[in-house]
Amino acid sequence: MAERRRGEGTKGGRTDMAVLGVAGYALDVPDLDAGIAFYSAAGLVPARSGDRALLSCPGAPSPCVTLLRAGTRMRLHHVTLRADGLDEMAKLVPPHGGAVVDAPDGWDATGLWVSDPHGVLFHLIEGEAAAVEPVGERFVINAPGAIVRVRRSAMAPMASYAPARPRKLGHVALFTPDVMVSVAFLTDAFGMGLADRAQDIVAFCCARQNSDHHVIALAKSPGAGLHHASFQVADPDEVGRAGQALADKAGRGHWGFGRHTIGSNFFHYIQDPWGSWFEYYADMDFIDDHALWEPTVYGMEDAMANWGPPVPADFVHNYQAESGQ
């Protein structure tokens, strides 16, 4: 049974030091061609240079996914976050179990590089404004007693719909050996807020102001790693269409179409070539001020979905931990 927990996690209001949102993530991958093919099929735009590929949402000014050909198995290299107050943040990282580290060879040395208590690497970049989101068409339905669509069809012929067009990278979900230790680090060192959690198994952290319900999600696992990356599309219809199309092209596992309890978003997950997941989402809860939000502690029955098909057997399996990385 869900319960409200007043005051759990750093509350909003302070803005001199805080994560503002997720800007991207980087993966070491054994097969760059397979990665480019998968993300291109998902609707991202690739640019390749040697052993590195940069992938962007259509029309975006900068890439949100970097793939580097390295190693024999996929590994999360780092997550890039937009933030304010990096000098203050650098002071808070060590007392809360993290470490400020040098930029890895070949990566941008500006900003702040941080290793969290479980060794997950973050690159924090100062005060970059999020790209302005184009206004989408409102998704409305003919509800009982509230008819809004008269003498016209809601759906066009199947062939008239364009391929998936991800609007932005909305969040990343990370595996962690200790969810609450990771929550404490994100809230105390990075100035994020706890949105909601399901016991100490799954948790969701947001930016303190004007944030999707979660920017970073956390799932308990024997080791650290990437569980999934989530990309916003226009509406629930595009979630369903795009999810099924990518699942058909990828030929791997998928989960969807469904809707989450926590965050309320519609979802469709598709497994990438290395066992992690790519999510299309639409209609997520929005937190304008975390100071006015009360986190809920949900039961495990709500940790996955409110409704949808059965969860794949390996949906929460951490292949990166299995490989010893």
CB 187 within 8 A of CB 193: yes
**pLDDT for the residue 132:** 64
The ranges of the chain with pLDDT < 70 are 1-17, 128-132, 323-325
Q: Which backbone phi and psi does 200 adopt, to 5 degrees?
A: -110, 30
Rounded to whole angstroms, how far apart are CA atoms 55 and 44?
6
Rounded to whole angstroms, how far apart are CA atoms 218 and 222?
13
Q: Domain 14-129+165-322 carries which CATH code?
A: 3.10.180.10
User: What is the domain partition of the chain in residue ranges?
Assistant: 14-129+165-322
**pLDDT for the residue 31:** 97
pTM of the model: 0.93
**pLDDT for the residue 13:** 42
**pLDDT for the residue 288:** 96
Rounded to whole angstroms, how far apart are CA atoms 304 and 211?
21
